[in-house]
Chains A and B, each alone.
Chain A
Amino acid sequence: MNCIRNDAFLRTDGRKGIRNTVAVVYLVECAHHVAREIQLPFREVGVHLLGFGGCYPNDYSFRMLTTLCTHPNVGGVLLVSLGCEGFNRAGLLDVIRRSGRPAELLVIQECGGTRTTIEQGRVRIGEILRQLETVPRAALTVEELVIGTICGGSDGTSGITANPAIGLAFDRLVAAGATCIFEETGELIGCEQILATRAATPPVAAQLVESVEKAARYYATLGHGSFAPGNADGGLTTQEEKSMGAFSKSGSAPITGLIKPGDVPAVSGLYLLDVVPDGEVRFGFPNVNDTAEIVELIACGSHVTLFSTGRGSVVGSAISPVVKICANPETFRNLAGDMDIDAGRVLEGRGSLPEVGDEIVALVQRVAAGVPTASEALGHQEFVLGYKSFEPVGPACHPVSTIHM
Chain B
Amino acid sequence: MDAIQLSSLDNVAVLVRRLPAGARVSLESGEVILDRDLGLGHKIACKPIAIGDKIMKYGVSIGSATQPIAPGQHVHLHNMQSDYLPTYTLDVDRLFRGVSTP
Residue positions of A touching B, CB distance < 8 A: 155-157, 159-160, 189-191, 194, 216, 219-220, 223-225, 227-229, 232-241, 244-245, 248, 310, 328-330, 347-348
Contact = CB atoms under 8 A, between A and B. Distances in A.
A212 to B, nearest CB: 10
- Among all A-B residue pairs, the 6 with the closest Cβ atoms: A156-B41, A235-B41, A229-B90, A238-B82, A241-B62, A235-B42
A194 B60 contact: yes
Given A160-B6, A229-B90, A235 B60 contact: no
Contacts of A191: 60
B26 interface: no
A232 B89 contact: yes
Nearest to A156: B41
A237 B40 contact: no
B25 to A, nearest CB: 14
Interface size range of chain B in the complex? 20 to 34
Contacts of B96: none
A237 B39 contact: no
Which of A155, A237, A240, A245 has the most B CB atoms < 10 Å from its CB? A237
Nearest to B58: A244
Given A229-B90, A244-B57, 11 more contacts: A159-B58, A189-B85, A229-B92, A232-B76, A232-B89, A235-B14, A240-B63, A240-B84, A241-B62, A241-B63, A330-B18
Interface in B57-102: 57-58, 60-63, 75-77, 80-90, 92
A239 B88 contact: no
Interface string B35-64: 000011111000000000001011011110
A237 B85 contact: no
A156 B82 contact: no
A169 to B, nearest CB: 19
B9 interface: no
A240 B87 contact: no
A240 B41 contact: no
Given A310-B41, A330-B18, A244 B86 contact: no
Contacts of A194: 60
30 contacts: A155-B40, A156-B42, A159-B58, A190-B60, A190-B61, A190-B62, A191-B60, A216-B85, A223-B86, A225-B82, A225-B88, A229-B88, A232-B76, A232-B77, A232-B89, A234-B41, A235-B39, A235-B76, A237-B43, A237-B62, A237-B63, A237-B77, A237-B87, A238-B83, A240-B62, A240-B63, A240-B83, A329-B40, A330-B40, A348-B16
